[in-house]
Amino acid sequence: MDDTRTGRAPTDETVIITGGTSGIGRATAVALAGAGARIVLAVRNTAKGRAVASTLPGTPGTHRVRALDLARLETVEAFAASIGEPIAILVNNAGVESKDLQRTADGHELQFGTNHLGHFLLTTLLLPHITDRVVTVASQAERMARLDLTDLDWYRRTYNGGRAYADSKAANLLFTSELDRRLLAAGSRVRALAAHPGLVKTAIYERPAGARPNLWDRLVPVLGQEPEDGALPSLMAATADLPGDTFVGPQRMMHMRGGAEVIGRSKRVQDPDIAARLWSISEDMTAVDARR
């Protein structure tokens, strides 16, 4: 089936960005607001969100802030229920990283629960309102994933925080592929794409005082790019004329910094059977049918 969906800037249209109060999310919001979009910041800290919204380009009052905690599925459901307008673009940007095993309010492993399940539920509930595309911020960390579909919440395996993060990013790409396949099969003009920001100086790398730094903690201050550069792949995925299921990342340093271009991904996250199985499991884990 030919994919004839085309790209465009979201001028005078609404864009939802999760985690848009700092880092890549904030930079994405600034750029899209500057292009004329009406931004909805979906954030945990609404006071911080309002402060950021007040600085975005555009007429005062154009941009809004809504409470959303991806680690609490009831707030995802409440957020989606509050949206009654067309949404041009949904940017699934928010993410967490943790070395230690933590769980969401619903009992899921924190990184998988937040980075994948929260966005899975948000997207599926908002889909009737989306008119152009869904962009999910993934990562080349997916190449280090060992996604175990029988133990996604790490109840049986010995916990490895880095592997769990990589698993959540693999899930982002599998979700993007399956979502786009379903959209295309349904004849929808909406498409799903993913973005890898590269190595960026953001709060996700901040550690508690006294914590022992790992390799990335040492590399980021030296090699990391600014959030405005890290947002370029998200912006390309959000506005360029690209086919669905495209993965966009930086151009240089093994796709870790500089510009934006279409990049590849591991064979495992291109497996349609795994993507379909993850979708079905995610439906069960989020009880999405009961929440519609």
Residue with more model confidence, 7 or 14: 14
Tell me what pLDDT residue 262 has.
Answer: 97
Say how far apart CA 229 and CA 259 lie, in whole Å.
Answer: 7
pLDDT at 221: 60
Give the Å distances, CA to CA, from 133 to 85, 200, 217. Answer: 15, 24, 33
Please spell the DSSP secondary structure of 73-126, one letter per residue: HHHHHHHHHT--S-EEEEEE------SS--B-TTSSBHHIIIIIIIHHHHHHHH
For 219, the token pair is 């590399």
Question: What gap in Å lies between CA 25 and CA 46, rounded to an integer?
Answer: 15
CATH code for the domain defined by 14-291: 3.40.50.720
Separation of CA 134 from chain center? 9
Looking at the chain, the whole-number percentage of residues with pLDDT higher than 70 is 89
Residue 2 has pLDDT above 60, yes or no: no
- Tens-place pLDDT, residues 250-280: 998 777 888 999 999 999 999 999 999 999 9
Distances (CA, A) of 30 to 76, 94, 256: 24, 16, 22
- Is 165 a residue of the active site? yes
Mean of per-residue pLDDT scores for the chain: 92
pLDDT by residue (tens digit) across 112-155?
A: 999 999 999 999 999 999 999 999 999 999 999 999 999 999 99
pLDDT on residue 103: 98
Token pair 């395996």 in the structure block, residue: 157
CA distance 145 to 171: 9
Sign (positive or negative) of CA dihedral 276, 282, 285, 291: negative
- Output b/e per residue, 253-272; b: 16+ Cβ within 10 A: eebbbeebeebebeeebeee
The b-or-e profile of 34-45 (16+ CB within 10 A means b, else e) is ebebbbbbbbbe
| For residue 83, pLDDT beyond 70 | yes
How much is the pTM? 0.92
Please identify which of the residues 155, 159, 165, 205 carries the catalytic annotation.
Answer: 165
